Amino acid sequence: TQLLEQSPQFLSIQEGENLTVYCNSSSVFSSLQWYRQEPGEGPVLLVTVVTGGEVKKLKRLTFQFGDARKDSSLHITAAQPGDTGLYLCAVWGNRDDKIIFGKGTRLHILP
């Protein structure tokens, strides 16, 4: 079973539209991270959310941590072609010795 379920798996939308992607789990986490990975490169950390209900903004990206700290969402306003990539949510494992990733949402923004 997958610890982190991300949805949708794939999303292709027109430039200028808004979108939301989700990261869900039945487990409670002390923090959750979002990474973006571009083709041929490693993931890059976008944000870490720590407190239940926390909202963090990064330009046109808004990240929210669920009140119960089991899930998170990423909302992109007015998507641009440069937002294209694989968005991964991740958490530290139970033993705090490794980061575990979801399978990701592959986002494609059409110009």
Rounded to whole angstroms, how far apart are CA atoms 67 and 45? 22
88: nearest Cα among 23, 12, 18: 23
Tell me if 24 contacts other proteins by CB under 8 A. Answer: no
Nearer to other proteins, 20 or 48 (CB): 48
CA–CA separation, 37 and 91 (whole Å): 16
Q: Smaller CB distance to other proteins: residue 43 or 66?
A: 43
Residues numbered 47 to 106 that lie near other proteins (CB under 8 A) are: 48, 50, 86, 88, 92-93, 95-104, 106
Binding site for other proteins (CB under 8 A): 6, 30-31, 33, 40-45, 48, 50, 86, 88, 92-93, 95-104, 106
